[in-house]
Amino acid sequence: MDRFVSTFTNKIDAKGRVSIPAPFRAVLERDGYVGGLYCYPSLDAAALDAGGERLAKKIDGLLAGLPDYSDERDELSVALYGDVQVLSIDGDGRIVLPENLRVHANLDAAVTFVGLGDKFQMWEPKAFEERRKEARSKVQVTRKLFAAGGRSSDDDGNEGARE
C-alpha cells in the first residue's frame, strides 16, 4: 500500500543532518521521487509535514477547488506554498533541516518521524509523546462513536471490538 506507517526516531548529527527512516525512503521512491522532499511547518502544531510527489499533488488539489484570484485562495496559497521547502536527499538518505524549520518544531538533538499515510511528520521526540497521548485519549472517544453509529455490519463486525 506504500504509505508512511509507524514512527521512528533518528538523531541529528553535528552538521544538522538526519537520516530519513529507510521504510519512508522506500515509499518516497515508489511515490515517484524526483529530487526532493516537500517539507513545511505544520499549520497547527510544532512539527513539520513532509512527503513526496503525491503530497505535492494533493496540495495542488486543494487549491484547485478555490476560484482564482479569491482572497481565500491567495491566503491558502501563501500558507501552503509559502513555507514549503524542497529538501534534497543525499546519497545516504539524509536531509538537512533549514534553520526556520528546525525552529518551528523545536528540533535539536533528535527527530521523531511519524507516518500519516500520504505524508509524515517530524517532531521533537518529547513533544510527540505528548501529542500521542492526546491522540490516544481522543480516539477512545471516537471509537465509541463508531460503535454507537452501528458501523459494525461490514464484513464481520469487529469494528468496535478492539480490546
Instruction: Give the max Cα distance, the chain.
Output: 54
* Exposed/middle/buried for residue 50 (C-beta within 10 Å: 0-12, 13-18, 19+): buried
Q: Return the closest-CA partner of residue 110 out of 41, 5, 21, 29.
A: 21
Per-residue interface string for the shown chain with its own copies, residues 96-115, x marking contact by CB under 8 A: ------------------xx
By a kind-dependent CB cut-off of 5 to 8 A, residue 93 interacts, out of DNA, its own copies, none, with DNA
* Exposed/middle/buried for residue 41 (C-beta within 10 Å: 0-12, 13-18, 19+): buried
Binding site for its own copies (CB under 8 A): 1, 3-7, 23, 34, 38, 42-45, 49, 53, 56, 58, 60, 62-63, 68-69, 71-72, 74-86, 114-119, 131-132, 134-136, 138-140, 142-143, 146, 155-156, 158-159, 161-163
Binding site for DNA (CB under 7 A): 8, 10-11, 13-22, 25-26, 88, 90-94, 96, 98
